């Protein structure tokens, strides 16, 4: 709450003034961004960014393009939900993209059909382990995330090495496992039930459901309060009785499991798993969180903000495609946005410190 000082007869008093939630500013940025693309489209292209009006062919293409982008944002958004919790506690997770790659390869190995067009599956990893119930590859994926999160969390909690180094090591290791698992060959032909996980708008439904769940958890549970307490002041949290090591391990386990679930959605949507899946996803997820108002210093942020940050990412990608700009411009702009969001976060912290 901001305070303003008023003077009466030489005396001063402070009056509390209501302020908008931090997420409102992020949402306002989203609206401005959409408006900017809409204005540019109408002025320079003679067309609408939101409502393609030129002809039916372009309209169909535009609808397909937007749907693809929404689906991509949803998959990375699932990762961003876990990354948000890590950053709130004052940590960082660089391994989530590689965990996606390794999990996709391993989980798909247990989701394959026995025969393709009446012939034995030419890409079956385990001949005796085909046509399994969909719960099997999902549990395998969760197990992969659980293991990766335990390693990350234990290294950070008990060896006291920086999260950047611990998760960087996991990033390299998991990517190596993804390439080693099938000697670099893709794994395809999943069962129909497994393929159904990523069919249509199911990734969006999964993303929104997880976002609502973890927003409620962070807001109303002891787990969420401990996340914010550790990120705000770890020493004070320890003195108040919070088991810092156990909580950090739990946070990194949740983040890795969410990355593994994103891998399941991704490979089921694509009907194949490749070792290169998830490259740079960790940076996109971190960017979504930071754009959404999550402080890299810890102790501040929300899942709602991260969801809005993911929408901003989607609008940027969609807008650049709409303007027919080359893909490498998107990478440049994403880099600028990440740096700009961090600079803005630092400015807000300095301003808050001065006002305290």
Confidence (pTM) = 0.89
CA Rg value for the chain? 23
pLDDT value of residue 1: 43
Give the per-residue pLDDT at 151.
98
Ordered DSSP codes for 134-153: THHHHHHHHHHHHHHHHHHH
Q: What is the pLDDT of residues 21-57, one digit of tens each?
A: 778 888 998 899 889 988 998 888 887 777 765 544 4
- Long-range contacts for 158-167 (Cβ within 8 Å, ≥24 apart)? 158/245, 163/86, 163/91, 163/92, 163/93, 164/92, 164/94, 167/92, 167/93, 167/94, 167/95
Over residues 157-195, the pLDDT tens digits come to 999 999 999 999 999 999 999 999 999 899 999 999 999
Query: Rounded to an integer, what distance in angstroms lies between the CA atom of residue 325 and that of residue 318?
Result: 10
Token reading at 164: 């950047």
pLDDT at 99: 98
d(CA 141, CA 197): 13
Quote the tokens at residue 102: 């390794």
C-alpha distances in Å from residue 229, one per residue of 237, 248, 284, 345: 6, 12, 26, 19
**Residue numbers of the chain with a pLDDT score lower than 50:** 1-17, 55-57, 59-61
pLDDT at 57: 46
pLDDT at position 215 is 97
DSSP state of 166: H
Query: How many CB atoms lie under 10 A from the CB of residue 94?
Result: 21
> Which residue shows structure tokens 């411009």?
329
Bridge partner list, 116: 119
* φ/ψ of residue 339, rounded to 5: -65, -45
**How far is Cα 194 from Cα 265, in angstroms, rounded to an integer?**
9
């Amino acid at each position: 709450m901001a305070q303003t000082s008023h003077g009466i007869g030489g005396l001063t008093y402070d009056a509390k003034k209501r302020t908008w939630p931090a997420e409102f500013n992020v949402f306002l940025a989203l609206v401005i961004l959409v408006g900017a693309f809409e204005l540019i489209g109408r002025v320079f292209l003679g067309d609408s960014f939101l409502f393609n009006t030129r002809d039916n062919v372009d309209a169909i293409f535009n609808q397909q393009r937007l749907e693809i982008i929404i689906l991509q944002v949803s998959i990375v958004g699932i990762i961003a939900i876990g990354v948000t919790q890590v950053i709130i506690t004052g940590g960082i997770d660089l391994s989530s993209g590689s965990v996606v790659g390794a999990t996709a390869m391993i989980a798909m190995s247990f989701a394959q059909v026995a025969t393709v067009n009446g012939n034995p599956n030419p890409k079956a990893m385990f001949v005796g382990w085909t046509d399994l119930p969909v719960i099997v590859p999902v549990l395998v994926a969760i197990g992969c995330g659980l293991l990766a999160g335990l390693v990350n969390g234990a290294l950070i909690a008990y060896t006291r090495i920086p999260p950047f180094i611990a998760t960087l090591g996991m990033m390299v290791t998991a990517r190596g496992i993804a390439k080693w698992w099938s000697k670099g060959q893709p794994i395809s032909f999943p069962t129909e039930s497994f393929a159904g996980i990523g069919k249509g708008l199911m990734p969006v439904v999964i993303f929104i459901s997880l976002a609502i769940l973890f927003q409620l958890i962070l807001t109303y549970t002891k787990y969420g309060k401990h996340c914010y307490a550790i990120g705000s002041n770890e020493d004070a949290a320890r003195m108040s009785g919070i088991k810092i090591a156990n909580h950090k391990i739990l946070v990194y386990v949740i983040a890795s499991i969410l990355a593994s679930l994103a891998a399941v959605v991704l490979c089921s949507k694509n009907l194949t798993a490749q070792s290169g899946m998830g490259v740079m996803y960790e940076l996109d997820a971190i960017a979504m969180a930071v754009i959404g108002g999550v402080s890299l210093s810890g102790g501040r942020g929300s899942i709602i903000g991260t969801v809005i940050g993911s929408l901003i990412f989607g609008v940027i990608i969609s807008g650049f495609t709409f303007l027919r700009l080359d893909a490498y411009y998107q990478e440049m702009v994403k880099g600028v946005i990440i740096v700009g969001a961090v600079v803005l976060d630092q400015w807000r912290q300095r301003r808050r410190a001065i006002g305290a």
